Amino acid sequence: MNSLVNLTKVFKFHGGVHPPENKAQSTQLPIGQLPLPEKIVLPLRQHVGNIPKIKVQVGDKVLKGQLLAEAEGTVSAAIHATTSGTIVAIEDAIIPHPSGLPDRCITIKPDGKDEWIARQPQDWRNTDCNTLIASLRSSGIVGFGGATFPTQIKLRVGCKSEIHTLVVNAAECEPYITCDDMLMRERANEIMKGIEVTQRLLGAEKVLIGIEDNKPEAIASMQAATANTSIQVVVVPTLYPSGDARRLVHLVLGTEIPYDKRSTDVGLQVFNVATVLALYRFFELGEPALSRIVTVTGNVQKPQNFEVRFGTPLPHLIKAAGGAKPDTTHYIMGGPMMGFDLPDENVPITKAANCIIAASPNLFAPPPTPMPCIRCARCADACPVNLQPQELYWFAKSDNFEKANDYKLFDCIECGACSYVCPSNIPLVQYYRYAKSEIIALDKAREAADLARERNEFRLARIEREKQERAAKHAERAAAGKEEAAKRALEAEKSPALEANKNEASSPATSGVDDVKKVAIAAAIERAKAAKSAAAAIGEAPKNIANTDESVKKEIAEIDARRQAAGIEKPAVDAEKQAKIAAAIERAKAAKAVAEAAKTAETKEE
């Protein structure tokens, strides 16, 4: 093995740490299968991006592999039933997330049959690449290395085919975690098929598989599988965090992906080994993402890897690992370097759950009280990004976010190497997370403030406009006296005078200013109102009368009142005529308003 191992040059990155591996415990037994759990709880939030849209209802019978929630928006992933059964609840429940907050989950009561929906394998070798990638939207596949970024997004660039190299991430640098290791030992051939599929999707010619040298069995297995192919197994030295995508790319290719670029910008794409396998199952077998390998280790009786359906309650899994030892205090999801405390034992296994560690005070001693930073710069020596963690800590602590930004806070990958070596036991990563979230919040607040300022300017403009409209209305009221005369004239000779009046009035209005335009619009509204009131007078209430402005209703009422006061009876027979009169009045009002506004506009201009 060793002669093969050292064929490829490895490009080291700065820093890195060597935490105790603790991987042997969970690699003694092969990947185990679990019996069906009593219930399946599928959180909608299992990936980075938008929450998918639920397509089922409580009471629905579902089959294994059936779509329960479809991807919503660009960055999102679908959720599928991981066994057949009945949807018994769609409600908030505690999910395995660092926030510890409940989130929407779909609960299935399995019927025990584990009956598949009709699977639809694709002829991926002969199908158009765009069609293949589009179909991934319903696969539910996300990055199974732990990042859970929807895979279809990472593949979208593929069809344009500027990707020359696929890097398969099998470094698995976090202590305790062995799910990728076991996957490679046991399913190398499926992984190879997955690589073929992924190569087809990306158009990548070159394939490198990066594996840390602490996994000799996996290396041997992959080397056997890749024999007689152009695929290269690159053995990288065990050094945390070699499994970080940018670090791994540097290790195997010597390429430093610029901080503001994606790997695809330099013709590379990185996929976790389990993701690659999931792609094979989706295209070749028509199976969406329903399960993953989970390492169950730490303070359990029989540490082991299991193939676990998503939604399987954690206690079910712990039971399979022989149960937790008595002094177990809680569970950690992920590894000891980047994982988090599960908020509760009763959480379901999700797509992100690469490892569950039963924690006890013996295994992970409570951290000692932090001491002041003595600027020893051990953190800087350990930082794989070559940041200056001691400076970032100082800036984060003093809320000096601008400086923190200058010192490239956002390049921090939160790997925890700095905290791991800190003699003062300072929870450095927590400070960086805090500073990042504050900076993001401040940026959002700034954006919101900009928006608010725009809105306020808009509002001021509106107030000004409304003021002028009110002024126009005043003018109407002032002209109310004339209406009477106009009415009488109308009755006598059907209003030729009014028409003239209108033309006269509108001529200065069209000559002008923006304000006048606005008022013209207002006038148009008035005309519409007139039409409405005319219709009302005919007796056909407009369908949207309920929505009519109160002031309009009032005006109508007022006109009616005035009419009554003037002793004009509402002749039921002559309704049409009456309506016409009312409309004419409204028109007159509008015309006057226009004229008035034009005047005010002129005076304003002076």
Using CB under 8 A as the criterion, what x/- string covers residues 235-254 for binding another protein? -----------x---x----
HSE at residue 567, side-chain half, CA atoms within 13 A, is 1
Complex with another protein: residue 88 or 266, whichever CB lies closer: 266
Residue 365 burial class via C-beta count within 10 angstroms: exposed 0-12, middle 13-18, buried 19 and up: exposed
Report residue 243 as tokens. 């499994």
- Distance (Å, whole) CA 5 – CA 468: 83
Residue 269 in contact with residue 276, Cβ under 8 Å?
no
- In order of 466, 483, 502, 595, 601, the CA distances from 469 in angstroms are 5, 20, 19, 12, 12
**CB 292 → another protein: shortest distance, Å?**
21
CA distance 144 to 304: 18
Nearer to another protein, 379 or 559 (CB): 379
Given candidates 16, 19, 85, 110, which one binds another protein under the rule CB under 8 A? Answer: 19
Tell me the residue length of the chain: 606
Q: How far is the CB of 433 from another protein (least distance, A)?
A: 7
Residues 181-220 that bind another protein (CB under 8 A): none
Q: Is there binding between residue 392 and another protein (CB under 8 A)?
A: no
What's the rounded Cα separation, in Å, for the pair 310 and 303? Answer: 20
Interface stretch with another protein, choices 150-158, 201-209, 335-343, 499-507 (CB under 8 A) = 335-343
Q: Which of 4, 11, 340, 510 binds another protein (CB under 8 A)?
A: 340
Residue with Cβ nearer another protein (68 or 93):
93
DSSP state of 119: P
DSSP 263-316: GGGGTEEEEEHHHHHHHHHHHHH---S-EEEEEEEESBSS-EEEEEETT-BHHH
Size of the site for another protein (CB under 8 A): 63
Tokens of 559: 């006109």
Could you give the string, one character per residue 86-125, with x where binding to another protein holds by CB under 8 A and - elsewhere?
------------x-x-------------------------
**Residue in 285, 338, 497, 535 binding another protein, rule: CB under 8 A:** 338
Closest CB 189 distance from another protein, rounded Å: 35
Q: Is residue 339 a contact point for another protein (CB under 8 A)?
A: yes
* 506 binds another protein, rule: CB under 8 A: no
Does residue 17 contact residue 239 with C-beta atoms inside 8 Å?
A: yes
Our CB check for another protein shows the closer of 321 and 332 to be: 332
Rg (CA), the chain: 36
Distance, CA of 234 to CA of 5 (rounded, Å): 7
Chain residues 344-373 in contact with another protein, contact rule CB under 8 A = 359, 364, 367-369, 371-373
Least distance (Å) between residue 246 CB and another protein: 7
Interacting residue with another protein among 257, 268, 296, 593 (CB under 8 A)? 257
Backbone angles phi, psi at 270, to 5 degrees: -115, 125
Can you give the binding site for another protein, defined by CB under 8 A? Answer: 13-14, 17-20, 98, 100, 175, 246, 250, 256-260, 332, 334-341, 343, 359, 364, 367-369, 371-378, 380-381, 384-388, 390-391, 407-408, 411, 416, 419-425, 427, 429-430, 433
